[in-house]
Amino acid sequence: MDNKILRQNLRGLELPAILHGDVSGVVSAVGPNVNDFKIGDEVYACAGGFIGTSGALAEFMVADVRLVARKPDSLSFVQASALPLS
């Protein structure tokens, strides 16, 4: 299944590409019009790796704020990163 998703989503990506969509982490910066999140917030998202965008297999990534949610305190980062796409 991963191979099928990988082949389908490589279209439109400039290689070398950063793959994968599901992510969890800590906000390190926000854009000027972002009011729902602040630096230090723990979040999770399906924020990249699809439709020609770079993905989440990186130390830092840029994400569309509409695809990001606060990580519940009851979940670890590993658990939260397994939720978005599945």
CATH code, 11: 3.90.180.10
Residues 14, 9: Cα–Cα separation, whole Å: 11
Does 20 map to a domain?
yes
| Domain containing residue 75 | 2-81
Does 16 map to a domain?
yes
Does 86 map to a domain?
no
Q: Which percentage of the chain shows pLDDT scores above 70?
A: 71
Q: Please give the C-alpha separations between residue 70 and each of 14, 22, 24, 64, in angstroms, as whole numbers.
A: 30, 14, 9, 14
Question: pLDDT higher for 49 or 34?
Answer: 34
The whole-number pLDDT of residue 26 equals: 97
pTM of the entire predicted model = 0.76
Give the chain's domain count.
1
